[in-house]
């Protein structure tokens, strides 16, 4: 268990930990109320969560908890077909906890983990539409660079944007 502070008050401590089976309802609720997520996003994330709970090595989930409530999570995996590469699927933070450093705390905890595993690179993909502009700015602030773009992937005018961060 890792503690991180997002402010000066003791009430601002955030616990970063692995997601457990008892967190399923909270994760589902966060997904349902996340405005950027559509039904396909929700179903795909739930499939990943089910695989994680079943003990399959494909996916990992780390959550941020504050005052006993999950306020965000990150889902990622180690790419099995590339040496020492990790992929981030989602960094999700509740609306009321956004712009308070929670995503950064989650991301930094993830980077600490993959560095200990000797990762050489991390990749994240997102949509190019306006709804994901803040996510794109966040990735860029974290040091990611756009490495590829697939035109009209999600819809006409909505590209898939792939960001990469080379660690070693």
Per residue in 101-145, pLDDT tens? Answer: 899 999 999 999 999 999 999 999 999 999 899 999 999 999 999
Residues 96 and 126 placed together within one structural domain of the fold: no
Q: Are residues 93 and 130 in the same domain?
A: no
- 4 pLDDT more than 70: no
Q: Is residue 108 part of a domain?
A: no
Q: Are residues 142 and 69 in the same domain?
A: no
Q: Record the pTM.
A: 0.87
Residue 57 forms part of a structural domain? yes
- Rounded mean pLDDT, 39-68: 89
Dihedral sign (CA 118, 149, 136, 28):
negative
Beta carbons within 8 Å of 15's beta carbon, 6+ residues apart: 1, 2, 3, 64, 65, 66
Mean pLDDT of 26-50: 88
Q: Which residues contact 125 (CB under 8 A, 6 or more apart)?
A: 160, 161, 162, 163
Is the predicted pLDDT of residue 12 greater than 70, yes or no? Answer: no
In a domain, 113, yes or no: no
Residues 9 and 7: their CA atoms lie apart, in Å, by 6
Q: What pLDDT is attached to residue 162?
A: 98
Residue 145 and residue 75 share a domain: no
Q: Which of 46, 72, 100 is the last residue in one of the domains?
A: 100
Choose the final residue of a domain: 49, 69, 100: 100
User: Beta-carbon neighbour count of residue 51 at 10 Å?
Assistant: 14
Q: Are residue 156 and residue 94 in the same domain, yes or no?
A: no
Residue 160 sits in which domain range?
120-168
Distance between CA atoms of residues 164 and 129, nearest Å:
19
| Shared domain check, 132 and 96 | no
Segment 21-36 shows an average pLDDT of 89
The structural domain count of the chain equals: 2
Residue 114 lies in a domain: no
Within 10 angstroms of residue 130's Cβ, the number of other Cβ atoms is 8
């Amino acid at each position: 268990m890792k503690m991180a502070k997002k402010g000066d008050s003791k009430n601002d401590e955030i616990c970063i930990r692995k997601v457990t089976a008892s967190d399923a309802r909270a994760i589902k609720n966060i997904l349902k109320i996340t405005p950027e997520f559509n039904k396909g996003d929700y179903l795909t994330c739930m499939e990943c969560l089910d695989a994680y709970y079943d003990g399959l090595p494909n996916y990992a989930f780390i959550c941020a908890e504050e005052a006993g409530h999950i306020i965000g999570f990150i889902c990622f995996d180690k790419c099995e077909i590339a040496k020492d590469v990790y992929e981030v699927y989602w960094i999700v933070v509740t609306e009321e906890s956004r712009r308070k450093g929670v995503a950064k705390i989650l991301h930094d905890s993830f980077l600490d983990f993959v560095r200990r595993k000797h990762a050489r690179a991390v990749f994240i993909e997102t949509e190019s539409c306006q709804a994901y502009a803040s996510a794109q700015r966040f990735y860029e602030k974290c040091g990611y660079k756009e490495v590829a773009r697939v035109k009209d992937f999600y819809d006409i005018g909505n590209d898939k944007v792939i960001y990469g961060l080379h660690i070693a």
